[in-house]
Chain A
Amino acid sequence: SSELTQDPAVSVALGQTVRITCQGDSLRTYSASWYQQKPGQAPVLVIYGENNRPSGVPGRFSGSNSGNTASLTITGAQAEDEADYYCKSRDSSGDPWVFGGGTKLTVL
């Protein structure tokens, strides 16, 4: 079955830039979407279609894709960005949709 691999945990100093990555073969064909989840809350879409932000998502969030790797970048991380981040992609083998394992972002 296909997989999307994320680093379990990443930290960033307040105001600095952090990149969260997601690797998987399906990303060579399909764009990733990214979701932010804070404790006790439902996930919230932050990036879709490789680098599109829904209304209401701050401009410091951006996305990119290269080969089998999708990235979520937060430029000037804020305390409120501390959360779990999940990538998701369509897939043509195994289940048609798959999530990465999630990355816990700590803002120091």
Chain B
Amino acid sequence: QVQLVQSGAEVKKPGASVKISCKASGYSFTSNWMHWVRQAPGQGLEWMGVINPTGTKTVYAQRFQGRVVMTRDVSTTTDYMELSSLIPDDTAVYFCARDHSRGNSWWFDPWGQGTLVFVSS
């Protein structure tokens, strides 16, 4: 079955970077874009960005421009999201999610299990 398995929890100090992985299986990896979404404790979902199937194009949310880099390794069917210059407000669970689209509809399915990133001095 289609699965997205993310890397484990991370604890980082302010100013550091974190790189999270999302290993895809059960489908043709180069058929779908991949999104990244985060959720701060007790808060809602926030879209961060997306990478295209071949890894040659990315679109990032305005608030993360210059601080986030999304990449993918087609040979290992793994996506990566690196967030730099971390601050405590970056403490959140980070999810990857596979993109689907048809006509004027877009949806995310499935989602990875989430990766907790805790930023504290």
Enumerate chain A interface residues (CB-CB to B < 8 A). Answer: 1, 29-31, 33, 35, 37, 42-45, 48-50, 54, 86, 88-90, 94-102
Residues of B within 8 A of A43 (CB): 37, 45, 95, 97, 108, 111
Q: Which of B76-121 contact A (CB under 8 A)?
A: 95, 97, 100, 102-114
Identity of the chain B residue whose Cβ is nearest the Cβ of A97 in the assembled complex: B47
Enumerate chain B interface residues (CB-CB to A < 8 A). Answer: 35, 37, 44-47, 50, 59, 61-62, 95, 97, 100, 102-114
Say yes or no: B44 contacts A54, CB within 8 Å.
Answer: no
Say yes or no: B108 contacts A33, CB within 8 Å.
Answer: yes
Contact (A54, B105) CB under 8 Å given A42-B95, A94-B62: no
Chain B interface mostly:
strand
CB distance from A1 to the nearest CB of B (A): 8
CB distance from A23 to the nearest CB of B (A): 15
- Report which of A45, A48, A102 forms a contact with B44, defined as CB distance below 8 A: A102
**C-alpha gap A37/B39 in the complex (Å):** 11
Residues of B within 8 A of A101 (CB): 44
Residues of B within 8 A of A95 (CB): 47, 61-62
Say yes or no: B107 contacts A49, CB within 8 Å.
Answer: yes
CB distance from A18 to the nearest CB of B (A): 19
Contact (A48, B109) CB under 8 Å given A29-B104, A102-B45: yes
Say yes or no: B114 contacts A30, CB within 8 Å.
Answer: no
Say yes or no: A42 contacts B112, CB within 8 Å.
Answer: yes
Say yes or no: A45 contacts B109, CB within 8 Å.
Answer: yes
Residues of A within 8 A of B105 (CB): 30-31, 33, 48-50
**C-alpha gap A97/B106 in the complex (Å):** 9
